[in-house]
Amino acid sequence: MLDTTTLAAPVNQDGTMTESPATSIEAGAPSGLGSAGGRIPSLDGLRAIAIFLVIAAHLCGTVGYLSLRYLPLDYGRLGVRVFFVISGFLITTLLIEERRVHGKISFALFYMRRAVRILPAAYCCIIIISVFSIWGAYHLTPDDIVRSLTYTTNLWPGSMRSWQLGHIWSLSVEEQFYLIWPLLFVAAGSRKTTWAAIGMICSAVLFRLGDRIVFFHSTWHMKGTSGDWLISLADSLAAGCMLASAGNRLLDQRWYRALFKPKWSLIILVIIVALVKYQYKTSLIWVFGMVLVNLGIAFLIHRSVVMYTDPIGKVLNLPPVRFIGVLSYSLYLWQQPFLNRESQSWFCAFPQNVLLAFGAALLSYYLVEKPFLNLRKRLRLRSIG
């Protein structure tokens, strides 16, 4: 069963369709999605790029590797944003498909699928790191463990998070999003899903604006508390939701298809990198510019999915690249304990830290994640027939 709602032919380099796009099965359903072994093409390759950005950022400053001066921009946060946009896109795509088949959404099955997908590998990682902490390998507080297990890490300042479990903040954002978005999706109905996503984007902008105006010079803000809240980052997830709901209509627009030309896509990528580089220099970029970053990422995801047969698409869909993307969740979980620039331990020194992170991720994927993925597939079949 495809993780898609409609299939369409790729777009030529000149912005024209190779053939007429397939008729959308629901107004606003994602378009331009092809088959790549039962998965949306290019998404695993994009996940590979995202996890590469995270690892590249966390590696800098570790023993035996490049110093922090070789980190010109926040690669890690950019990688997390890519993950967020992909999550919004994929979850909304699956919700649209379930509504198309059954005419309704089963909240019980949705939350069960999400729990089976996210919790086993994450809880296994948290428990093992906690055990190593008891043995003296790391320093964790009970609060670190409780916040990680309850997915509330993002609600606390970065200064109050241990490094080994600090990365659970991004998973906390996603889990909180999964609790809210299906309810908004159903409440909005099939014709207003895009508007619900736009509402989330506007809410994030308004929150960041209010945060800068009211709390910018306060101790509460300086601790970095609110920047990781769901409401502050909702536009990254909502950009993916909007792509899933409006992708078909966008592909009907010739101006939009023209942006798929390499030169325009490259310009959009340059703009994304520039905004990320200077996001902390001015409030204008942080409040409003990050919306452009998220929408730009969503566009590049759309281009990669639709044009999966062009040279870039072929690279993203190479088996080794796709495998890294498949491994990206376990790799994200397990890179953190080994890529610690504050540690002088042998297992945090390059290159063994990278090898150990990959080794732990492989064990996690094959022993924990993959068995539960098979269960999730059975649950998905129940939800879409």
Q: Which residues are CB-neighbours of 200 under 8 A, at least 6 positions away?
A: 184, 234, 235, 237, 238, 241
**Both tokens assigned to 173:** 């954002």
pLDDT band (50, 70, 90) for residue 245: very high
Answer yes or no: are the C-beta atoms of 148 and 165 closer than 8 Å: yes
DSSP secondary structure of 22-56 = PPPSSTT---SB--BTTB-TTHHHHHHHHHHHHHH
Q: Is the pLDDT confidence value at 9 over 50?
A: no
pLDDT of residue 159: 78
pLDDT band (50, 70, 90) for residue 379: low
pLDDT band (50, 70, 90) for residue 385: low
Measure the CA–CA gap between 124 and 139, rounded to whole angstroms.
18
pLDDT of residue 380: 65
Answer yes or no: are the C-beta atoms of 210 and 217 closer than 8 Å: no
pLDDT of residue 226: 77
Cα dist. 183→25, 202, 276 in Å? 22, 18, 31
Measure the CA–CA gap between 303 and 284, rounded to whole angstroms.
28
Q: Is the pLDDT confidence value at 315 over 80?
A: yes
Quote the percentage of the chain above a pLDDT of 90: 69
Q: Over the stretch 322-344, which tens digit does the pLDDT of each residue have?
A: 999 999 999 999 999 999 999 99
In single-letter form, the type of residue at position 108 comes to A
Which pTM was predicted? 0.89
Q: Is the pLDDT confidence value at 49 over 90?
A: yes
Q: Which long-range contacts (CB under 8 A, 24 or more apart) does 264-267 make?
A: 265/299, 265/300, 265/303
What are the sequence ranges of the domains in the chain?
Answer: 43-321+352-384
pLDDT of residue 190: 80
pLDDT band (50, 70, 90) for residue 211: confident
Q: Over the stretch 343-371, which tens digit does the pLDDT of each residue have?
A: 999 999 999 999 999 999 999 999 999 99
pLDDT of residue 136: 84
Where is pLDDT greater, at 150 or 27?
Answer: 150
Quote the percentage of the chain above a pLDDT of 70: 85
pLDDT of residue 137: 83
pLDDT band (50, 70, 90) for residue 5: very low
Average pLDDT for the chain: 86
Measure the CA–CA gap between 59 and 187, rounded to whole angstroms.
43
pLDDT of residue 249: 94
Q: Is the pLDDT confidence value at 26 over 70?
A: no
pLDDT band (50, 70, 90) for residue 70: confident
Q: Which residues are CB-neighbours of 199 under 8 A, at least 6 positions away?
A: none
Average pLDDT over residues 20-33: 36
Q: Which residues are CB-neighbours of 101 under 8 A, at least 6 positions away?
A: 383, 384, 385
pLDDT of residue 347: 93
Average pLDDT over residues 64-85: 88
**Both tokens assigned to 376:** 């999730």
